[in-house]
Chain A
Amino acid sequence: MSVADEQTKLGSAVLLDEAFPIVDRRFGENSPRVLGPHTWLQTQRLLIRLVRDPMTFFFGLVFPIFFLVVVDIVLGDTISSVTGHNALYGSVPMVTLIGAMNGATVGAVGIITERSDGLLARLWVVPVHRASGLLARINAEAVRVVINSFFLLCVGLLLGLRFEQGVLASLAWLCVPVVFGVAFASLVLTVALYWPSTTLVDAIVTLNSLVLFFCTGFVPLDQYPQWIQPVVEHQPLSSAIEAMRGLSLGGPVLGPALGTLLWSGGIAVACVIPMVLGYRRASMRG
């Protein structure tokens, strides 16, 4: 809508020397004092992106809630009669963890598109702490998992889940999916950095379904055939579910919690170096 002569002066006001703001450059680019603020800044950007993508809600809330309700209808009574307590103690943790795991695909797709669009390169050229980009991604995943788990916990409470172990245990219950979700998200991010393909989402969802079927939250451990019980018992999802079950219902917590920490820590440690190298390589060109 601008008239021709206005357009010819476009930007002229901002190109006066006085118009440019002065920047505080006292701290070096990689100084620890700026790591926090820079990371939080980029985390905010990623959170806005997550909120604006409907798939976040689908994977994180819609699918888990439907799955929880349907599994409760179909298997709930059977499992209660077999185990003696409410099936929700197993299925709510399972669904929370699956929501966290499937939701990580949104961030993975995000980093793949940002890389092909050139946004990663642009963010590399900006004078922020070199580690803040990657840390922001992990941070955003953690925030997403916390909020997600909280909502799914509320749904569980609505359906009849009750905490027998007190408030502290309930808070700890929320921490388990965060630990696990962050480890899984870092794995997914690492894979996305080395295999930037859109079929990644399908592969991850299928893998998650496989893991879902063979965990103790789906069907009690002793219902599985003998030969597969060790696998089911020790897989990372089962450890986390058992820890959460112990924290809500009662029963062993230390063992499964240690298992969860070992799995999560192991995955995270294994992913750190490839992730850092991959992120650098994805941002820079050559």
Chain B
Amino acid sequence: MSMGVAREQARPATDVVVTTALAAARPKPSTFGQWWILTTRLVAPTVRNGEVLFAVIASVVFTAGWFIPLNHIMGATSGMSSYAQYLMPLIALQGIAFASVTGALRAATDSVKGVNRRFQSMPIGPLTPLAARMSAGVHRCVVGTAAALISGHVIGFRFYRDLEYTVGFCLLLLLIGAVLSFLADLLGTNSKNPEATTQWLLLPQLIFGLLSVGIQPVERFPEWTQPIVRNQPISQFVYALRALAGDKTSAAGSVTWSVVGPSLAWLVGAMAIMVPLSVIVLRRRL
């Protein structure tokens, strides 16, 4: 069926109907309308078929899984008022990463099933499907953030700073999510096997997530890994998010450019590389 474009596709029972239907003037599609329909096409099924639910469950599982076993063994050395406060940014990032990965699956499935090719042959702007996928990705990230915040609240995380910092926390999270969605979308469009892609994307989540300061401070890592751990993007995100969330102690750090800056630099750098890449990919295989 046509997507976003109200094209007449009546099955004529009589000649009269055919003539009338096909002779009518073509409606002009609006880009915004197309974008909205494409976005709802991606978002609506996830609510119905349980993907949203699954995201929430996964978030709860991983929160409980990281917090409960490690709270005692790590809590002492975290440096903050509670291990929950320390761990929260990683939990939130994991929710975001999960959202991005499912987005990659969606992109891959669309690509493999040839839906993208079909869109290409319709009067839809070339960027509209991509924009719709990004919007759907942001929606997924919002769900992931909400789930993470609720889980964090349950285990004891609290916001200690003013409202603007809290908003900043959420915004940074969504920004990271948008960039990750873009990256995952790019990977997904290129893959031939969506299910395998989703599982393979578990690996980077694991590596980057665990080998970061999200679980334990840098000093606890073996000497040879410390430079990597300290400078990898996830650690920078975690530092920034911790600073924005604040803490009773001063261990969270203050919100300065030196703390938040590297995160933004990573994000900008990632986009700077990915946007040209995606243009190439878009042209080659939508």
Q: Within A69-126, which residues are at the interface with B (CB < 8 Å)?
A: 70-71, 73-75, 77-79, 82
**Are A70 and B61 closer than 8 Å at their CB atoms?**
no
**Are B211 and A70 closer than 8 Å at their CB atoms?**
yes
Q: State in angstroms the CA–CA spacing of A220 and B73 once bound together.
A: 9
**Are B202 and A224 closer than 8 Å at their CB atoms?**
no
Of A59, A66, A201, most B-chain CB atoms within 10 Å: A66
Q: Within B125-184, which residues are at the interface with A (CB < 8 Å)?
A: none
B196 near A: Cβ within 8 Å?
yes
A195 near B: Cβ within 8 Å?
no
**Are A225 and B71 closer than 8 Å at their CB atoms?**
yes
Q: Which of A43-51, A136-144, A202-210, A248-256 contacts B (4 or more CB under 8 A)?
A: A202-210
Q: Within A209-262, which residues are at the interface with B (CB < 8 Å)?
A: 209-210, 212-214, 218-220, 223-225, 228
Contacts of B61 in A (CB 8 A): 206, 209-210, 213
**Are A214 and B211 closer than 8 Å at their CB atoms?**
no
Tell me which of A62, A71, A198 contacts B195 (CB under 8 A). Answer: A198
Smallest CB-CB separation from A81: which chain B residue? B73
Apart from A70-B211, A205-B202: 19 A-B pairs, beta carbons within 8 A: A58-B196, A58-B200, A63-B203, A66-B203, A67-B206, A70-B210, A73-B211, A74-B221, A75-B73, A78-B73, A205-B199, A206-B58, A206-B61, A210-B61, A213-B68, A214-B65, A214-B68, A214-B69, A228-B68
> A74-B216, A74-B221, A209-B61 in contact; A224/B69 too (CB < 8 A)?
yes
Q: Within A2-48, which residues are at the interface with B (CB < 8 Å)?
A: none
A160 near B: Cβ within 8 Å?
no
Tell me which of B57, B69, B222 contacts A218 (CB under 8 A). Answer: B69
Q: 1/0 contact trace for B204-244 toward A, CB 8 Å?
A: 00110011000110001110010000000000000000000
Contacts of B210 in A (CB 8 A): 70-71, 73-74
Contacts of B215 in A (CB 8 A): 74
Q: State in angstroms the CA–CA spacing of A225 and B50 once bound together.
A: 32
**Are A213 and B202 closer than 8 Å at their CB atoms?**
no
Interface size class of A (residues with CB under 8 A): 35 or more
A55 near B: Cβ within 8 Å?
yes
A54 near B: Cβ within 8 Å?
yes
Tell me which of A73, A82, A205 contacts B221 (CB under 8 A). Answer: A73
Contacts of A223 in B (CB 8 A): 69-70, 72-73
Contacts of A205 in B (CB 8 A): 199, 202
Interface size class of B (residues with CB under 8 A): 20 to 34
Q: State in angstroms the CA–CA spacing of A218 and B69 once bound together.
A: 8
Smallest CB-CB separation from A212: which chain B residue? B65
Smallest CB-CB separation from A201: which chain B residue? B195
Contacts of A224 in B (CB 8 A): 68-69, 72
**Are B54 and A74 closer than 8 Å at their CB atoms?**
no
Contacts of B119 in A (CB 8 A): none
**Are A66 and B207 closer than 8 Å at their CB atoms?**
yes
B64 near A: Cβ within 8 Å?
yes
Main secondary structure of the interface of A (DSSP, over half): helix
B contact set with A: CB distance below 8 Å: 50, 54, 57-58, 61-62, 64-66, 68-74, 195-196, 198-200, 202-203, 206-207, 210-211, 215-216, 220-222, 225
Q: State in angstroms the CA–CA spacing of A54 and B58 once bound together.
A: 25
- Measured CB to CB, the closest approach of chain B to A101, in angstroms, equals 14
Contacts of B195 in A (CB 8 A): 198, 201
* Closest A-B pairs by Cβ, 5 of them: A213-B65, A219-B69, A223-B73, A70-B210, A223-B72
**Are B73 and A77 closer than 8 Å at their CB atoms?**
no
- Measured CB to CB, the closest approach of chain A to B166, in angstroms, equals 29
Tell me which of B73, B199, B202, B206 contacts A82 (CB under 8 A). Answer: B73
Contacts of A198 in B (CB 8 A): 195
**Are B69 and A78 closer than 8 Å at their CB atoms?**
no
- Measured CB to CB, the closest approach of chain A to B193, in angstroms, equals 9
Q: State in angstroms the CA–CA spacing of A166 and B70 once bound together.
A: 33
Contacts of A218 in B (CB 8 A): 69
> A66-B207, A213-B64, A225-B72 in contact; A206/B221 too (CB < 8 A)?
no
- Between A and B, 8 residue pairs with Cβ closer than 8 Å are A62-B203, A66-B203, A70-B206, A74-B221, A201-B195, A205-B202, A206-B54, A213-B68
Smallest CB-CB separation from B70: which chain A residue? A219
**Are A55 and B70 closer than 8 Å at their CB atoms?**
no
- Measured CB to CB, the closest approach of chain B to A223, in angstroms, equals 5
Contacts of B73 in A (CB 8 A): 75, 78-79, 82, 219-220, 223
Q: State in angstroms the CA–CA spacing of A275 and B65 once bound together.
A: 31
Contacts of A201 in B (CB 8 A): 195, 199
Smallest CB-CB separation from A220: which chain B residue? B73
Contacts of B50 in A (CB 8 A): 199
**Are B62 and A209 closer than 8 Å at their CB atoms?**
yes
